[in-house]
Amino acid sequence: MILLDVKNLTLELELAGEWVKALDKINLVINQGQIHALVGESGSGKSLIVKAIVGALPNKRWKITADRMNWRGQDLLSMSVQKRREIVKSDISVIFQNPINSLDPLLNLGDQLKQSINIAALPKHLFWQRNQYKNRRVEELLHRVGIKNHERFLKTYPHQIPSNLLQKFMVAMALASDPKLIIADDPTRGMEVTSKAQILRLLSRVNQVKDTSILFVSHDLLAISSMSHCMTVLYSGQTVETGELQQLRKRAYHPYTQALLDSAPSFRKDLPPKSPLTTLAGTIPTLHHLPIGCRLGPRCPRARKECVVTPSPRKIHGHYYSCHYPLHWAGR
Amino acid sequence: MDLINVENIRFEDKISRLFTPARTVFSLGPVNFDLQAGETLAIIGDNGSGKSLLAKLLVGLETPSSGKILLNGLALSTAHHKQKCHDIRMIFQNSTGSLNPGITVGAMLEEPLILNTELNVQERLSKIDNTLRLVGLLDDHKFFYRHMLSDGQKQRVALAKALILDPKVIVADEPFAALDPSVRSQTVNLLMGLQRDLGLGFIFISHNLGIVRHVADKILVMENGAVIESGKTDVIFNWPKEDYTKRLIETHQQLVNSQYN
Ligand SMILES: Nc1ncnc2c1ncn2[C@@H]1O[C@H](COP(=O)(O)OP(=O)(O)OP(=O)(O)O)[C@@H](O)[C@H]1O
Ligand code: SF4
Ligand SMILES: [Mg+2]
């Protein structure tokens, strides 16, 4: 079943008197029970997509348009703000990039966790057991994310906790409402490998045990491909390729996807130590200087003059790419 | 002869401003290693294990309480501090923060030349241009201010700043962490090239074991201020001895292996 279906999401913002497309025709489909990775460099628009989905962008400064943005068949853009908020609150949990900014500094962690516990599972006539029930759930959640000493932990405030522990706590918060989709925005950034592996294992387990879908936002390819089923690659606000991870790994059609895959030395078993890594020249453009047409153009080794027209997505075997001169496609 | 030779350096922090107030004394060391020209050493370990402190000791930002650092066989003491500043240079964890926003890249690079060399204006300018080109930037970049540079370019400027006095060793604290994949590969290639061409010694701290394995000749593993294990990269990766190292390598290996099923 399709949980989230986003088609041609475009997001414009005003920069020095001009409207620029920070997101340009983004497509994203998330199925029930899937871990879907959203990959892209810093500033490519990953967090903007997340915010657009959950409605966390103020309407004034942004123009958001889309052919559709459906959550389980219901159109999120046309429904009332109130209704949308309810849906997001009950069905979607977000683990934001900066845990310390998304927690209330004045409330201890126990209170914050309790507030987000979903009590729908508690039969109505047992309402008087509500507190007890919440306490039990809190304990269970902390246990699940591997936080020990929970009684002391719950009395502390966000700034007293090291960031990797806080990130685990954010996962517990995300699980508390029993969501259908967890959006994890770069949950392992800057972590050392053992903490990282813990978070990844945790998310994988939730996905397997509860069939919860996960949108995993990151540019850590090693992390992504250890757990994801599907992957959407973003470059400078455009979706360049989408498909099953294994297919993308085997045969990427978009030059940027290939460059991304080549950039992780751990991916390439045959790479002799100290040999130069393949890479693209230049860097991602800023919003002030977006190229016309395919935004990879100025950096793309395959670019030709047709590339000043934005390539539309093409489909092969459930795998979409947007490129005029794709790799492995010499026959055209 | 070894390019750099670190013998038994130790450090004791009595005021304990570097770490949590709960811990009154943090002691580091003893640290021993040597590095040849063109070689790369990676320092790995958890947050708070003393990696950044060790880097600061190497470049002379902190003074060891005992032990010796030899460069080309000559001891570097605080008396030779000036020479040390030239020969061992550091790139900081956050290159954006270490670039002065108020002055141009050119002025930033000229400063150390004015302070530490006898070069005249002309010579300084050509030195700046050469160094910019060495790190893959253009002469014109000397007129740029910090806010006009992309992340990758900032990293290059930080590197140019480190290279301008012709050092023999570069020490870098998490030089790749903040970089995006394509820019990261560019920087890795650039550094490996400079090592080949200039015989530069490179010491870096990183969490990214994929990169460590690819570029480092040797590894130093730190835990709670102590070096618990050190050796050639493929020896450490294939036959780790200490539990901590085993756990680290195993976790990394599991992530890598999970790619192929
Ligand atoms: N509030 C804002 N006002 C103006 N520009 C913004 C705002 N938020 C984001 N942007 C711009 O939109 C683009 C996409 O930003 P976004 O935060 O989505 O990047 P990201 O892909 O999440 O990057 P990272 O990996 O660093 O988290 C960037 O160029 C950014 O500068
Ligand atoms: S459309 Fe052109 S510029 Fe864009 S990725 Fe394809 S070949 Fe390169
Ligand atoms: Mg982001």
The mean per-residue pLDDT over the stretch A116-139 comes to: 83
Residue A228, pLDDT score: 94
Domains in chain A, number: 1
Band of residue A22 on the pLDDT scale cut at 50, 70, 90: very high
The mean per-residue pLDDT over the stretch B13-38 comes to: 73
Residue B95, pLDDT score: 59
| Burial class for A309, CB neighbours closer than 10 Å (0-12, 13-18, 19+) | exposed
The mean per-residue pLDDT over the stretch A40-66 comes to: 87
* Residue from A279, A288, A296 to probe the interface with B (highest B Cβ count within 10 Å): A279
B173 vs A contacts (CB less than 8 Å):
none
Interface size A-B, in CB pairs within 8 Å, comes to 99
Q: CB of A285 closer than 6 A to ligand 2?
A: no
The mean per-residue pLDDT over the stretch B207-215 comes to: 92
The answer to the question of residue A192 being in a domain is yes
Give the Å distances, CA to CA, from B257 to A37, A226, A309, B19.
Answer: 19, 8, 40, 36
The mean per-residue pLDDT over the stretch B150-169 comes to: 85
What secondary structure does DSSP assign to A294-322, as a single string? Answer: STTGGG-TT--GGGGSPPPPEEETTEEE-
Residue B97, pLDDT score: 66
In this structure, the residue with its CA closest to atom 14 of ligand 1 is A45
Condensed to tens digits (0 to 9), the pLDDT of residues A183-215 reads 999 888 777 788 888 889 989 999 999 999 999
The CA A310 to ligand 1 mean position distance, Å, reads 21
Question: Of the ranges A102-111, A268-277, B38-47, which one carries the lowest mean pLDDT score?
Answer: A268-277
The CA A229 to ligand 1 mean position distance, Å, reads 26
Residue B79, pLDDT score: 47
User: Ligand 2, closest atom to CA A300?
Assistant: 8
Residue A37, pLDDT score: 96
Q: Is the pLDDT of residue B21 over 60?
A: no
Condensed to tens digits (0 to 9), the pLDDT of residues B70-118 reads 888 887 765 455 555 678 888 876 656 678 888 999 999 999 899 888 9
Q: Which residue has the higher pLDDT, B255 or A26?
A: A26
* Residue from A274, A287, A295 to probe the interface with B (highest B Cβ count within 10 Å): A274
The mean per-residue pLDDT over the stretch A94-114 comes to: 86
Q: Supply the mean pLDDT for chain B.
A: 85
For residues B62 and B56, the answer to whether their CB atoms sit within 8 Å is yes
The answer to the question of residue A315 being in a domain is no
The one-letter code for the residue type at B28 is L
What letter would DSSP give residue A138?
H
A202 Cβ under 8 Å from any chain B Cβ: no
B214 vs A contacts (CB less than 8 Å):
265, 271, 273-274, 277
Percent residues over pLDDT 90 in chain A: 49
The answer to the question of residue A211 being in a domain is yes
Q: Do A273 and B213 touch (CB under 8 A)?
A: yes
Q: Which residue has the higher pLDDT, A96 or B14?
A: A96
The answer to the question of residue A264 being in a domain is no
CA torsion A120-A125-A128-A129 (nearest 10°) is -60
Alpha helices in chain A (DSSP H): 46-54, 81-91, 99-102, 109-115, 130-144, 150-154, 163-176, 193-210, 221-227, 245-250, 255-262
Residue B20, pLDDT score: 56
Percent residues over pLDDT 70 in chain A: 99
B162 min Cα distance to partner chain A (Å)? 22
Tokens of A144: 């699940």
Give the Å distances, CA to CA, from A287 to A21, A23, B61, B83.
Answer: 8, 10, 39, 44
Residue B110, pLDDT score: 94
B254 Cβ under 8 Å from any chain A Cβ: yes
Q: Do B150 and A226 touch (CB under 8 A)?
A: no
Band of residue A56 on the pLDDT scale cut at 50, 70, 90: confident
The answer to the question of residue A166 being in a domain is yes
The answer to the question of residue A75 being in a domain is yes
Whichever domain contains A98, its CATH number is: 3.40.50.300
Residue A282, pLDDT score: 82
Tally of CB atoms within 10 A around B210? 21
Domain that holds residue A71: 2-228
CA separation for the pair B201, A30 (Å, rounded)? 48
Band of residue A332 on the pLDDT scale cut at 50, 70, 90: very low
Q: Do A222 and B186 touch (CB under 8 A)?
A: no
B42 Cβ under 8 Å from any chain A Cβ: no
Number of DSSP helices (H) and strands (E) in chain A, helices first: 11, 13
The mean per-residue pLDDT over the stretch A238-247 comes to: 95
Contacts of A78 (CB under 8 A, 6+ apart): none
The answer to the question of residue A207 being in a domain is yes
| ipTM of this complex | 0.79
Percent residues over pLDDT 70 in chain B: 89
Q: Do A265 and B259 touch (CB under 8 A)?
A: no
User: Ligand 2, closest atom to CA A311?
Assistant: 1
Q: Is the pLDDT of residue A60 over 80?
A: no
Residue A198, pLDDT score: 86
The answer to the question of residue A311 being in a domain is no
The mean per-residue pLDDT over the stretch A2-11 comes to: 96
Tally of CB atoms within 10 A around B194? 18
Residues 216-255 of A with CB under 8 A from B: 219, 221-223, 225-227, 249
Residue in chain A closest to B259 (alpha carbons) equals: A226
User: Ligand 1, closest atom to CA A15?
Assistant: 4
